[in-house]
Amino acid sequence: MHEMSVALEIGSIVARELAKRPGCRLTGLGVVVGAFSGVQIDTLEFCLEVVMAERYDGVVCEVKPEPGTAQCLQCGRRFQVSRAPFECPTCGMPALGVDGGDSLQVSYLEVE
Amino acid sequence: MSSERVEVKEKVLSANDQVAAENRALLAAHGIYSVNMISSPGSGKTTLLERTVDLLKPSLRLGVVAGDVQTRNDAERLERHGIPVEAIETGGGCHLDARQVARTLALLDLPSTDLLFIENVGNLVCPSSFDLGESEKIVLMSVTEGEDKPLKYPAAFRRARICVITKVDLVPHLDFSTERAVDNARSVNPDLRFFFTSSYSGEGLEEWGGWLGERVEEYRRGR
Ligand SMILES: Nc1nc2c(ncn2[C@@H]2O[C@H](COP(=O)(O)OP(=O)(O)OP(=O)(O)O)[C@@H](O)[C@H]2O)c(=O)[nH]1
Ligand SMILES: [Mg+2]
Ligand SMILES: [Zn+2]
């Protein structure tokens, strides 16, 4: 629901970065979205397309999901999770707690 | 012409986070302990606040910031309990942000406040992304919502340290397992501390209110 405000914030960060590089044209943009960041990836992709198309031509947006990691209580295996329930792929036991997957970050710009 | 990759690595909500840090500093300067209450629509935030305000009013100076999408209803309900309340109408916005709170803090009598409640917009997704500068994020879920809320909305449960399970008076009428709800919440955030309350029967309110009182004291001492 707040993906549009997130896309607009990304737009401001991009504009700020470009202002530091006069004469550069934006060609690409990379964003990292954690599985537990509260942001819906496909909705954000759509909103970003809208925001970018309004301002620039032909920018390729890469929205990269970031999973979290959990550890099995039974066998100790560490595994990646991006949605609940957090069950060990080996023994099916629930994991207690998840690390990471909380990012919401502009990782890079591509300019020429 | 060849493209060049420029590393940015900037948090998307850094502008909000910066204002939140200013709010936090301002609240700290006045020794105000503040809580940001997050839940789905209708989980019982306002009703719990009404009961909590009555309980704590004799011993603490309270204030409320009540966020609502379209009305001032919640603010009006709370005003009737004789404490200062400021409403934030988001006009369709699905969450409060730090700037709205900053503007509202300017309207409150901060030197005469010990504990500030911020009732966020009823929504279990978006508010969890926006730091407001509060001391504590509190997530609420009512027993009518089903035990799997923490699994469906992990972000809110991960960012809070406290979880209040509300409307426990209804448990006898429902197929709701408190234990399963707690297990689910712990699976996304093992450090959560729980309260179980009913604003109707009064169950759990003493413990909840007592805990808030202790936090206020602790906050003042730690300053
Ligand atoms: N049985 C029962 N009902 C409750 C309890 N607390 C609140 N309610 C009812 O639940 C409904 C919603 O309560 P509110 O306090 O307005 O919920 P809210 O979270 O503030 O709602 P929004 O601000 O709209 O998101 C009302 O009809 C309340 O009377 C409770 O402890 N037990
Ligand atoms: Mg309310
Ligand atoms: Zn295992």
Residue A107 belongs to domain with CATH number: 3.30.2320.50
Q: Is B8 in contact with A38 (Cβ distance < 8 A)?
A: no
- Alpha carbon of B126: minimum distance to chain A alpha carbons (Å): 6
pLDDT digits 0-9 by tens, B46-97? 999 999 999 999 999 999 999 998 889 999 999 999 999 999 999 888 999 9
Distances, alpha carbon B119 to alpha carbons A47, B15, B20, B50, B101, in Å: 28, 22, 16, 11, 11
State the average pLDDT over residues A20-44.
Answer: 95
E-assigned strand segments in B23-120: 33-38, 62-68, 85-89, 115-119
State the average pLDDT over residues A80-86.
Answer: 87
**Residue B140: strand pairing partners:** B164
Averaged confidence pLDDT in chain A:
93
pLDDT digits 0-9 by tens, B134-185? 999 999 999 999 999 999 999 999 999 999 999 999 999 999 999 999 999 9
Q: Is A106 among the domain residues?
A: yes
Q: Determine the residue of B40, B43, B45, B47 to mutate for testing ligand 1's pocket, defined as the one with the most ligand atoms within 8 A of the Cβ atom.
A: B47
Select from B14, B95, B155 the Cβ nearest to the Cβ of A37.
B155
Is residue B68 packed enough to be buried (19+ CB in 10 Å), middle (13-18) or exposed (0-12)? buried
Count of helices and strands (H, E) across chain B:
8, 8
Q: Is A82 among the domain residues?
A: no
Domain that holds residue A42: 2-66+99-111
Q: Is A10 among the domain residues?
A: yes
Give yes or no for residue B120 CB within 6 A of ligand 1.
no
Predicted pLDDT of residue A96: 75
Q: How far apart are CA B103 and CA B67, in angstroms?
A: 13
- For residue B106, pLDDT over 80 is answered with yes
Predicted pLDDT of residue A98: 86
Is the separation of the CB atoms in B12 and A44 below 8 Å? no
Averaged confidence pLDDT in chain B:
96
Q: Is A91 among the domain residues?
A: no
What confidence tier does B223 reach under pLDDT thresholds 50, 70, 90?
low
DSSP A41-82: HHHHHHHHHHHHHHHSSSPEEEEEEE-EEEEETTT--EEEES
Q: Is A85 among the domain residues?
A: no
Q: Quick one: CA dihedral B183, B187, B193, B197, positive or negative?
A: negative
Closest ligand 1 atom to the C-alpha of B197?
31
Contacts of A16 (CB under 8 A, 6+ apart): none
What confidence tier does B1 reach under pLDDT thresholds 50, 70, 90?
low
Question: What are the residue boundaries of the structural domains of chain B, listed by start?
Answer: 3-222
State the average pLDDT over residues B119-130.
Answer: 94
Predicted pLDDT of residue B64: 98
What confidence tier does A86 reach under pLDDT thresholds 50, 70, 90?
confident
State the average pLDDT over residues B30-36.
Answer: 98
Q: How far apart are CA B55 and CA B117, in angstroms?
A: 14
Select from B152, B156, B187 the Cβ nearest to the Cβ of A94.
B187
- For residue B37, pLDDT over 80 is answered with yes
Q: How far apart are CA B207 and CA A109, in angstroms?
A: 51
- Say which ligand is closest to the CA of A71: 3
Pick the residue whose CA is nearest to atom 3 on ligand 1. Answer: B167
Collect all residues from B whose CB is shorter than 8 A from any CB in A: 1-16, 94-95, 123, 125-126, 128-130, 150-156, 158, 183-184, 186-191
Predicted pLDDT of residue A23: 92
- For residue B2, pLDDT over 90 is answered with no
What predicted TM-score, i.e. pTM, was given to this entire model? 0.93
Is the separation of the CB atoms in B154 and B100 below 8 Å? no
Q: Is A98 in contact with B188 (Cβ distance < 8 A)?
A: yes
What confidence tier does B207 reach under pLDDT thresholds 50, 70, 90?
very high
Q: Is A77 among the domain residues?
A: no
Q: Would you say domain B3-222 falls under CATH 3.40.50.300?
A: yes
Q: Is A103 among the domain residues?
A: yes
Is the separation of the CB atoms in A62 and A30 below 8 Å? yes
Predicted pLDDT of residue B65: 98
- The count of structural domains within chain A is 1
Give yes or no for residue B51 CB within 6 A of ligand 1.
no
Q: Is B6 in contact with A109 (Cβ distance < 8 A)?
A: yes
Q: Percent of chain B beyond pLDDT 90?
A: 92
Query: Which H or E run contains B55?
Result: helix B45-56
**Amino acid identity, residue A76?**
G
Give yes or no for residue B42 CB within 6 A of ligand 1.
yes
Q: Is A93 among the domain residues?
A: no
